[in-house]
């Protein structure tokens, strides 16, 4: 086998291992149930995870990844068996679809993976502590309940209050156990710690451990974001498959999984797709900002390195909580979690609330750190209007994330308390007001969409001059437009509620304030087009994604005013048109720029570049597929397709459009898989790129990649405008001593 | 830390501000029991808040020029100060959301609560703020003993407030039928006081930490960011109560 290439060995093992695991799974199902009811689920899971393990083993032998996957599979099986046993002891019957078995399987599998990869590290330690904390909290409440003469067991083993305290304590234990807060505890006891710790781990293991280096944290964020994008995308594929034709074929009523039948699973997947994607966007943008902002400012690190690390690590237990919500009965409210429905949904709703609340803290603390860094850590000569334009976008985003996020946290907390203690905030029977929830919720959740897109638009403005070789048109206007969007964004929330029954006189002011957002957004488009005008446009992969982002975001922008205008919105509310509009803005404002940023800064992080051919394939596959998907959404939406429903009337004649959209969705998934392959493969095998491969004026490209722990060896001073591409003799930064640039500028600057 | 004033002048200023705050609180109570004009109560609360933010929390220090050397303690304190204030801004949104909830659900009505107890705990918190200010002033002038004494008094008063609300006020209200699940008035009362009490609790932990560290000589007249942070946080907790007290006890007609 030695002479065969690793790739072929990998694929061969995948085929053999996958088929073998599938057969084992089928045999197991048959042995237990005597029928083939679950044929499409258990064997597929076996084939997927067994196949992955076989692939890793075939391609690279017993590598850390192979070990991780072996441990994961063993852990998942062991956890499943343990959960099943507990369930049998409590319920007295064996139910293979019992949520508790799946939950143990998920947690044990996750933890075992990280244990297998690198033994005890911050992730595996944290997860072990989280499991312990969750059980401890749940058992504590259960003990109190028993002492009070109440029942301790519920449909998901423990009762709801027990799960809530358990989930909360799980987060605290994770953070306490993995070392994210140990420096703070030392400070509290009056001990001193060095401002920067020496990196104790080298190579890829440092990404699994606590690090205060903003570049490491940026990459940690990005990888968790990519994981969540994959999970959220997988959920989308599942419910999109069900929607491919009218009637129920895939998520049928006779399926039973995690205590839910097919249509209930549809609701949970649809709801979690929304929130998991939102969290992944927040983490993805936090990743880019964390990595880029200190480099762009010439700072050694973020202002608060420990807080930075804490804000990242809190997002890991939050991710686990969000996944737990799927298993603990799910929920059916959509990502918005409106009461009164959310006051009645299963326990999964509470895990969802807790997960969002926790990840909200990640967002708040990251934003705080960002603002302070920009205000306090700029290098010499970097006045406000000489900052890179991406920094302005990051500031605008951070202002929203810092303040408004508290409102969604509060809204969700109030529903949690309503469920736990019967506090009737949103219960009309007690005099409560469900519309109040919507106000609190949208006061964050509308500005939040600007949190999603502003950094992306900043990436577009940042990269466009590099690849058009021209000054950025209207720098100050763009800088101000980011702030304007952020501030106006605070005044528009009730446009989500035109059909909610709120006071009618509120509609018109909110309509106009919403339409006002088009002005600063228009400023950005004007500037982008003017920057491209007569530029020497050069289109490697990052630029392709920038251009794609501009076009897609334009589509999202143009479909906005019909939703903002009361008369048309009353027709469009809760239709697929809204879904299409939203996906346009988020793909244009986040997904495309996010990929652009990764392709662009990847060499800075790794010293290698991602494969261009695969990058272009990714772009040319994803872009048309996305257009098909979003145009399809808007078409059927205009014709009256409701959003969030598992089935539709065949007489509406939407079957064909839905089928095409589903194909589009799968093509996007394939393109993202190509990207992920390219990402991880290029870390090790990518073409070396240590110099200024984009010929950028930005300071981080004037030194060799990858950069050392504290960034610049010599401080630099800003001596000119940031985007004067093509102006002979102009300079943006000057290093104190000759910088170690490996590539010198040729010809134009 | 620059010494703008000598110690006794600083103590005197803290005392004067405390007298203003106490007088304004008495005025609030008087307005509430006589002609209950909401707009005046709001104005008085805003004045109290401004006094606390300027004289007790020293918000103007955000504007202080600090050393150009970014590795100096002074520069880092400036950075920390900005971070702390941004955190408080963020936290203020939680309380703003709670006030919004209260206004939306209860409007110009209020639950039946024990007025004497309400005034008593408010006084406890206000007096604790006075001693906190003295503690910080003492530390600024290198008076470790004075700091510890005043901080301990603050701690005891803060604990008194916490117990007054959670261990006395809550059971009393519940005995009179105002429970968490008895309607929106109960829900609002327990949520607002509960969230505030949680902050008082964290403030007490913070106080314990700085008292303990002061005993270990961690702080000096020039370098005591921990003390400043705990002080500003403690006054912030008081600041929130400046709005919560009238919102729960004074504004509107009895339900």
Establish if B42 belongs to a structural domain: yes
Higher-confidence residue of B37 and A130: namely A130
Chain A CB contacts of B78 under 8 Å are 376
Q: Which domain CATH number covers B139?
A: 1.20.120.80
- CA–CA separation, A234 and A672 (whole Å): 11
pLDDT score recorded for residue A708: 87
Interface test with A, best of B83, B100, B192 (most A CBs within 10 A): B83
Lowest mean per-residue pLDDT among A58-62, A587-591, A607-611, B110-114: A58-62
pLDDT score recorded for residue A744: 45
Query: Percentage of chain B surpassing pLDDT 70?
Result: 98
Higher-confidence residue of B187 and A25: namely B187
Nearest residue of B to residue A192, measured between CA atoms: B218
Structure tokens given for A217: 């944290």
Establish if B115 belongs to a structural domain: yes
Strands A157-158 and A153-154: antiparallel
Contact A401, A366 (CB under 8 A): yes
Helices (H), A537-653: 541-558, 561-564, 566-572, 576-586, 592-606, 612-638
Chain B CB contacts of A430 under 8 Å are 181, 183-184, 187
pLDDT score recorded for residue A746: 39
Tens digits of residue pLDDT in A258-291: 889 899 999 999 999 999 999 999 999 999 999 9
**Whole-model pTM?**
0.94
Establish if B208 belongs to a structural domain: yes
Give the pLDDT band (50/70/90) at residue A748: very low
Domain count, chain B: 1
Interface test with B, best of A414, A421, A429 (most B CBs within 10 A): A421
- Count of CB contacts below 8 A, A vs B? 103
| Mean of all residue pLDDT scores within chain A | 92
pLDDT mean over A672-694: 93
Establish if A546 belongs to a structural domain: no
Establish if A711 belongs to a structural domain: yes
Geometric angle at alpha carbon A341, from A337 and A343, rounded to 5°: 85
Strand, coil or helix: B130: helix
Domain count, chain A: 1
pLDDT exceeds cutoff 90 at A61: no
pLDDT score recorded for residue A738: 57
Lowest mean per-residue pLDDT among A243-257, B45-59, B156-170: A243-257
Establish if A734 belongs to a structural domain: yes
Establish if B167 belongs to a structural domain: yes
Tens digits of residue pLDDT in A692-717: 999 999 999 999 989 988 889 888 99
pLDDT score recorded for residue A212: 92
Structure tokens given for B4: 């703008």
Backbone phi and psi for residue A547, each to the nearest 5 degrees, phi listed first: -65, -45
Establish if B2 belongs to a structural domain: no
pLDDT exceeds cutoff 70 at B3: no
What is the residue whose two structure tokens read 């604790």? B128
**Pairwise CB contact (< 8 Å): B101 & A425:** yes
pLDDT score recorded for residue B168: 96
Give the pLDDT band (50/70/90) at residue B1: very low
Establish if B1 belongs to a structural domain: no
Tens digits of residue pLDDT in B89-141: 999 999 999 999 999 999 999 999 999 999 999 999 999 999 999 999 999 99
pLDDT score recorded for residue A259: 85
Look up the domain containing A735 and give its range: 702-749
Which residues 415-444 of A are in CB contact (within 8 Å) with B?
417-418, 421-425, 430-433, 436, 439-440, 443
Establish if A722 belongs to a structural domain: yes
Establish if A667 belongs to a structural domain: no
- CA–CA separation, A430 and A131 (whole Å): 37
Establish if A47 belongs to a structural domain: no
| Element at A576 (helix H, strand E) | helix A576-586
Chain A CB contacts of B70 under 8 Å are 376-377
pLDDT exceeds cutoff 90 at A10: no
Look up the domain containing B204 and give its range: 7-254
Q: Which of A486, A491, A506 is nearest to A443 (CA)?
A: A491
pLDDT score recorded for residue B129: 97
**Pairwise CB contact (< 8 Å): B183 & A372:** no
Establish if B74 belongs to a structural domain: yes
| Mean of all residue pLDDT scores within chain B | 94
Contact A212, A193 (CB under 8 A): no
pLDDT score recorded for residue B2: 47
Backbone phi and psi for residue A41, each to the nearest 5 degrees, phi listed first: -115, -65
Structure tokens given for A101: 């078995």
């Amino acid at each position: 086998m030695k002479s065969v290439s690793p790739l072929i060995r990998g694929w061969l093992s995948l085929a053999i291992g996958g088929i073998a695991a599938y057969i084992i799974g089928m045999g197991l199902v048959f042995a237990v149930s005597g029928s083939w009811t679950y044929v499409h689920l258990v064997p597929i899971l076996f084939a997927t995870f067994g196949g992955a393990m076989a692939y890793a083993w075939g391609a690279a032998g017993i590598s850390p990844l192979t070990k991780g996957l072996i441990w994961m599979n063993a852990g998942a099986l062991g956890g499943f068996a343990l959960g099943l046993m507990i369930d049998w002891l409590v319920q007295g019957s064996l139910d293979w679809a019992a949520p508790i078995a799946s939950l143990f399987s998920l947690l044990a599998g996750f933890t075992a993976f990280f244990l297998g990869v690198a033994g005890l590290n911050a992730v595996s330690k944290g997860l072990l502590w989280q499991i312990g904390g969750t059980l401890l909290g749940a058992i504590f409440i259960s003990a109190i309940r028993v002492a009070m003469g109440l029942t301790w067991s519920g449909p998901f083993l423990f009762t709801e209050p027990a799960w809530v305290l358990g989930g909360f304590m799980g987060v605290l234990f994770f953070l306490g156990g993995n070392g994210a807060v140990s420096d703070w505890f030392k400070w509290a006891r009056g001990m001193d710690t060095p401002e920067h710790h020496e990196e104790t781990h080298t190579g890829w293991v440092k990404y699994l451990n606590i690090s205060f280096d903003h570049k490491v944290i940026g990459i940690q964020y990005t990888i968790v974001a990519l994981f969540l994008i994959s999970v959220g995308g997988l959920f989308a594929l599942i419910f999109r498959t069900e929607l491919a034709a009218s009637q129920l074929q895939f998520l049928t009523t006779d399926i039973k999984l995690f205590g839910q039948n097919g249509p209930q699973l549809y609701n949970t997947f649809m709801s979690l797709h929304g929130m998991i994607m939102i969290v992944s966007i927040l983490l993805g943008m936090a990743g880019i900002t964390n990595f880029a902002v200190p480099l762009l400012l010439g700072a050694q690190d973020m202002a608060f390195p420990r807080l930075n690390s804490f804000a990242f690590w809190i997002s890991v237990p939050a991710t686990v909580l969000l996944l737990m919500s799927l298993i603990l009965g799910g929920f059916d409210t959509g990502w918005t979690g409106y009461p009164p429905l959310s006051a009645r949904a299963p326990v999964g709703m509470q895990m969802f609330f807790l997960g969002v609340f926790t990840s909200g803290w990640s967002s708040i603390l990251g934003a705080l750190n960002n603002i302070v860094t920009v205000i306090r850590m700029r290098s010499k000569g970097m006045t406000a209007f000489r900052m890179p334009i991406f920094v302005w976008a990051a500031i605008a985003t951070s202002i929203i994330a810092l303040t408004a996020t508290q409102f969604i946290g509060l809204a969700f907390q109030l529903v949690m308390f309503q469920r736990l203690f019967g506090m009737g905030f949103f219960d009309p029977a007690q005099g409560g007001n469900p519309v109040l929830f919507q106000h609190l919720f949208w006061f964050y959740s509308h500005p939040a969409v600007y949190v999603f897109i502003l950094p992306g638009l900043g990436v577009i403005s940042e990269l466009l001059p590099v690849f058009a070789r021209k000054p950025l048109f209207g720098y100050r206007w763009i800088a101000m437009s980011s702030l304007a969007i952020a501030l106006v964004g605070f005044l528009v929330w009730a446009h989500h509620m035109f059909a909610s029954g709120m006071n009618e006189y509120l509609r018109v002011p909110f309509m106009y304030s919403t339409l006002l957002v088009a002005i600063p957004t228009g400023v950005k488009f004007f500037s982008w087009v003017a920057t491209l005008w007569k530029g020497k446009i050069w289109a490697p992969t990052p630029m392709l994604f920038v251009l794609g982002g501009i076009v897609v975001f334009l589509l999202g922008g143009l479909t906005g005013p019909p939703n903002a205008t009361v008369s048309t919105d009353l027709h469009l509310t809760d239709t697929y048109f809204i879904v299409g509009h939203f996906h346009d803005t988020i793909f244009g404002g986040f997904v495309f720029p996010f990929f652009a940023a990764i392709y662009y800064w990847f060499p800075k992080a790794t010293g290698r570049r991602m494969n261009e051919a695969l990058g272009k394939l990714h772009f040319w596959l994803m872009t048309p597929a996305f257009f098909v998907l979003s145009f399809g959404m808007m078409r059927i939406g205009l014709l009256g397709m409701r959003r969030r429903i598992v089935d539709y009337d065949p007489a509406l004649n939407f079957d064909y459009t839905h089928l095409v959209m589903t194909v589009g969705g799968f093509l996007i998934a394939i393109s993202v898989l190509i990207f992920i392959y390219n990402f991880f493969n290029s870390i090790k095998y990518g073409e070396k790129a240590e110099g200024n491969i984009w010929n950028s004026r930005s300071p981080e490209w004037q030194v060799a990649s990858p950069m050392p722990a504290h960034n610049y060896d010599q401080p630099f001073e800003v001596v000119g405008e940031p985007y004067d591409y093509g102006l002979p003799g102009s300079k943006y930064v000057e290093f104190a001593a000759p910088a170690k640039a490996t590539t010198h500028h040729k010809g134009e600057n | 830390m620059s010494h703008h004033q000598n110690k006794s002048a600083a103590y005197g200023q803290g005392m004067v501000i405390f007298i203003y705050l106490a007088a304004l609180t008495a005025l609030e109570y008087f307005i509430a029991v006589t002609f209950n004009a909401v707009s005046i109560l709001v104005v008085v609360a805003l004045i109290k808040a401004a006094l606390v933010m300027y004289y007790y929390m020293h918000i103007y220090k955000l504007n202080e020029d600090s050393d150009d050397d970014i590795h100096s303690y002074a520069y880092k304190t400036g950075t920390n100060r900005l971070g702390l204030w941004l955190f408080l801004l963020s936290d203020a949104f939680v309380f703003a959301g709670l006030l919004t909830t209260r206004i939306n659900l209860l409007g110009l009505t209020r639950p039946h609560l024990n007025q004497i107890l309400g005034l008593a705990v408010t006084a406890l918190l206000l007096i604790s703020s006075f001693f906190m200010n003295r503690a910080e002033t003492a530390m600024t002038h290198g008076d470790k003993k004075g700091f510890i004494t005043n901080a301990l008094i603050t701690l005891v008063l803060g604990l008194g407030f916490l117990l007054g609300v959670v261990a006395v006020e809550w059971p009393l209200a519940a005995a009179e039928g105002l429970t968490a699940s008895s309607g929106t008035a109960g829900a609002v009362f327990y949520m607002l006081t509960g969230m505030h009490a949680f902050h008082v609790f964290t403030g007490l932990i913070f106080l314990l930490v700085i008292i303990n560290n002061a005993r270990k000589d961690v702080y000096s007249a020039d370098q005591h960011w921990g003390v400043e942070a705990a002080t500003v946080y403690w006054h912030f907790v008081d600041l929130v109560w400046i709005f919560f007290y009238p919102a729960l006890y004074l504004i509107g007609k009895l339900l």
